[in-house]
Each structure stands twice: as structure tokens, then as C-alpha cells.
Structure 1
Amino acid sequence: MTVTETVARRTSELDQAIDQEFRREQRLRARDLGLAILTPIVLLALWELAAATGVLDSRLFSPPSAIAERGAEMVADGSLAVHIGATVGRLALGFVAGSILGVFAGLIMGVVRPIRAALSPTFTALYALPKIAILPLLLLIFGLTETPKILAVAISVFFVVQINTLAGITQIDPRILESARAYKATGIRLFLNVLLPAAAPAIMTGLRVAAGMSVIVVTAVEFVASNNGLGYLIWNSWQLFQPATMFVGLIVVSVIGALVTGLIIVLERVLLPWRNSNSLKKKETKK
């Protein structure tokens, strides 16, 4: 067998191995998707069966069919849309404001050492403080308006994003910064071309963590300081002993949390394409 034939045979074997691995990864993805869809369906079916047979008290644990019926009624009369709109509005404003300020503060603290030395202990102490605990102070200052609810979310998001952004900046290899400065990268050029891209993975991780926390905080705030929103819906339903309505609120809150996290994941894939899955890399290699 000649050298050319040997190389061609090994190339063919490599292509087959890559193709097999890619097909295996595709099968695993399809299986994982099927399990992700099937699991909640099975759990809901078991819940419905347990309520119908008396294993669960349907007065406390409304069966999925009753919850769906109640949800349809709330959609039809528009009450659910009102509560969703109130919660999503507070969540969006607080999340965006907290994220922008958190990224800015993290970048400044990462670049300017005196500012980092001055603010890090204070920020560490404030981060450990339960964010819902500052709600009475915000209510005292701003009254029963939308401002304290939005600020509670923004403050929660701010500290998570700031900590992750600062970690991303401080973990940059000093040699990268030296090379950037050698090529006259200063000011806005250093920020856009070096600091922000290098810290982007840590920032996106912070946003994903903050997304879940923001949903928790806005719901908790609405428990005690609101007359609308999903948190209010859940708490008021509990007080009035309306478990089906309460479960509707809980399910919608969980869906909103999943959607917010999913949007962050999509944004991460768009902004950080190099962090795509190994299967995509293998597909490109095969091509």
C-alpha cells in the first residue's frame, strides 16, 4: 500500500469517526429533549391521578385540570394579564438598571485599584444583607409606589453582576493588558477591545444567576408591598384559600423565570459564539 493510499484510508477513517460521533451527539440531544418534555408531563399525570384517587387532598393540591381551568378563566377575564404585566414591568426595569450599573461598577473597580480597595469591603457586606430586608427602608423613603419595588430588584441584580464582572476583570492575564497598552490601546479602545470581551463570560454568568434572583425578589416584594402582580396574586390566593389560583400564579412565575434565563442563554450564545457546544465544533471540523 502506497503512502497516498495510507493517508487516504486514514482520512476516510477519521471522517467516519467524526461522523459517528456527530450522529451520536445528535441522538443524545434528541433523547435529552424528549426527557425534558416527557418528565413534566408524567409528573402532571401522576399529580392528576393522585388527586383523583384521594392520595392527595384536592382541596389543598388542586389537580392540574382544575388549575388549567382556573388559568383559562383568568386569561379570559384579563386578570392574569394585569398581574403578569405588573410583575414583568418591575422585573424588566429592575433587571436592566441593576445589570448596567453592576457591569459599570465591576469594570471600574477592576481597572482602578484604589476604588476597588475602598468599595470592596462595603459591597461585600451589603451583598450578604438579604435584599428583601431593605424593602422597609425603601418604602419609608419612597412610599407605596413602584420605585421601591423596582429598586429592590435592581439592587439584588447589581451586586451579583458587579461581583462577577469584577472577577472577570481581575482574572485577565496581565500579559494581555501589557500587550494591549503596547499597541496604544487605552481608554475606550482598551475597554471595548480587551476588558469587556475578556470579562464577558463572567458577566453572562452573573446575569444568569441574577435572572433567577430577580424573579424571587420581585415575587417576595409583591407579597407584602403591592396590590397587583403575581406575588400579590399568590399571597392573596393563600389568604382567601384559593389553591387553584395560587397554583396558577406559581406556575406563571416559574415560566417567567425560565423565559428570562432562556433569553440570557440565547444572548450569551449570540455574544460569545466561541462557547458553543462541542458538537457544533465537530460539525464544522467535519465540513
Structure 2
Amino acid sequence: MTKSLEHTEIARDQSAVDAAVEREYRRHRMLRGRDLLLAILTPVALLALWELAAAFGAIDARLFTPPSEIVERGWDMIAGGELWVHVVATVGRLAAGFVLGAVAGVLVGLVMGVSRPLRAAFGPTFTALYALPKIAILPLLLLIFGLTETPKVLSVAISVFFVVQINTLAGIVQIDGRILEAARAYQASGWKLFRYVLLPGATPSIMTGLRVSAGMAVIVVTAVEFVASNNGLGYLIWNSWQLFQPQTMFVGLITVSIIGAVVTGLIIVLERALLPWQHSGGPRKKGKEQ
């Protein structure tokens, strides 16, 4: 009889837990749906407000071109192929510079992280160079390489390098010493220590560096194209301002922002693939825990 009562109590407690988990799961889904809805409706509402303000004369439509006219101008540029020329030029420079700077930043950061003498020798120098505005290096690069693609790519690569290098180094240095002691106790050294302890421990910081440097890379490539290019979205924006073509200028600005969002989104997808445990939060519906 006592055992039967105990089983009944256990079943009742389990049912209560299951019900609580189900309620939390539904609440979590509702909040995610609300967040997604707000993320979509907010820019739509702002664009509608912009359109209405221009239509009723609250803002100068000659300076703040209504979204409908921007879309029309953008479609004409896409159909005519003009926009693609500038997009391809910017994306090519951005991709080449980002990959070059990211790879170099990760490698240098890892080497400095595992070598105290190198960290002491180059740490202050890299800290000082990081504070230097990257666009200020462009004139020197132009003197060395001339008006070619190399200075534009290197400007992006340098801006990405320092951000990724600093974050990679921080990721290595901040690894808990007890973890390293445990790894060495299990005879982990050399490549095994690097592959299974140091690199996984530094990966979250590396991904943070890549996310931050992505936005900086878009800024730098656009600024470089302002002054040292005859194509690209930066050139398009600057030339449109000089010719007082606000529709075209807004098309360029929006395209740059879209490219920045896409690059950041790709890095987030990569981060989710490499660090799935950091994005597995939130309650799960019963039966999906397996």
C-alpha cells in the first residue's frame, strides 16, 4: 500500500513537472515569435513613417528621398546592371581583405598566446598600431603600391587583422589554468594540446573578433572607395553626393548596409556550427531532449 502511494506521488510530481516544462516551452515560443514580429515590423513602420513624412512635406523630399523612389531607382540600377558592377567590386575587395586579415589575425594571435616572449615583444607594438585609424594607412599603401587593388584590399585586411588578433590572444590567455594542468596531466602536449584545448578554448573569442571586424571591414572598404577608387559602393555614394543624386546615394547606402548584415549573418551561422552549445539555450518541448 505504501509503495502504491509512493508511485502515485511520483507520477503526480512528474505530471506537474511535465506541465511546467510544456508551459515554459510555449512561453518561449511565444516570445520568439513576438521578437521576430517586432524585428520585421519596426523597420517597416519606420519606412512607412518616412514615406508619409515626405508625402506631407514634413521633411524635404529632395534631400530625404521617399523609400518608394529609392526602390524605383534601385530597381532601375539593378535592371541596367549598374549596381552589380559596384557590388561586385566592393564584395571582391571586402572578401579578399577579410579572409587575409582574419587568417593572419588568428595565426598571429594563437602564436602569441602560446609564446610568452613573443607576447611581450609584440604586444605593446600591436596595441599602439591598433589605435591608429586604419584609413590613415591608405596614403602610405598608395605610395607603395600605387592606384591598384592592393592598397584597398590591404586596408581591409589590416583593419580585420588587429581586431581578430587581439581577440584570439585574449581567448588563449583567458583559458583556465586548471584546464591546462589537467590536459598536461593526461600527457597532452604540442599539437594535441593545441588542437583539443587551446583552439577550442579560444574559438568563442575568435568568433567575437570576426563579428566585430566584419562591421569594421565594411566601413573601411567603403571609406577607401570614397577616395581611391572609380568603382564600388563607396565610390557610388561619394559620386552621387557630388552630383546631388540623393536617390542613387540612398541606394548605395542601403546596399552597403545589406552587405554588412549578410556578412555578419554568415559569421553567426559559422559560429552556431562551431559552437552549438552556446546557442542551445531555452526550454525544449518534452520528447525533443534526445
1:158 aligned onto 2:161: yes
1:224 aligned onto 2:222: no
Q: Does structure 2 conserve the Cα–Cα contact (< 8 Å) formed by 1:107 and 1:166?
A: yes
Instruction: Please identify runs of 4+ aligned residues in structure 1 that moved more than 3 A.
Output: 280-287
Q: Does structure 2 conserve the Cα–Cα contact (< 8 Å) formed by 1:15 and 1:286?
A: no
Among candidates 94, 97, 110, match of residue 113 of structure 2: 110
| Normalised TM-score (structure 1) | 0.97
The whole-number CA distance in structure 1 between the counterparts of 2:247 and 2:146 is: 32
Percent identity (aligned) = 72
Query: 1:124-143: CA deviations, max 9, x gaps?
Result: 00000000010000011001
| Normalised TM-score (structure 2) | 0.96
Aligned positions of 1:165-180 closer than 5 A: 165-180=168-183
1:250 aligned onto 2:219: no
Shift, 1:187, TM fit: 2.1
Among candidates 230, 234, 237, match of residue 237 of structure 2: 234
Q: Does structure 1 conserve the Cα–Cα contact (< 8 Å) formed by 2:21 and 2:283?
A: no
Give 3-state SS (helix, strand or coil) of 2:282's partner.
helix
The whole-number CA distance in structure 1 between the counterparts of 2:171 and 2:287 is: 29
Among candidates 8, 13, 24, match of residue 10 of structure 1: 13
Q: Which moved more, 1:171-180 or 1:71-80?
A: 171-180
Aligned positions of 1:8-87 closer than 5 A: 8-87=11-90
1:203 aligned onto 2:195: no
Letter in 2 for 1:195: L
Aligned positions, number: 287
Shift, 1:280, TM fit: 5.6
Match of 1:212 in 2: 215
The whole-number CA distance in structure 2 between the counterparts of 1:114 and 1:249 is: 47
The whole-number CA distance in structure 1 between the counterparts of 2:173 and 2:259 is: 33
- Which segments of 5 or more consecutive residues in structure 1 lack a partner in the other structure? none
Query: 1:210-236: CA deviations, max 9, x gaps?
Result: 111100000000000000000000000
Q: Does structure 1 conserve the Cα–Cα contact (< 8 Å) formed by 2:156 and 2:220?
A: yes
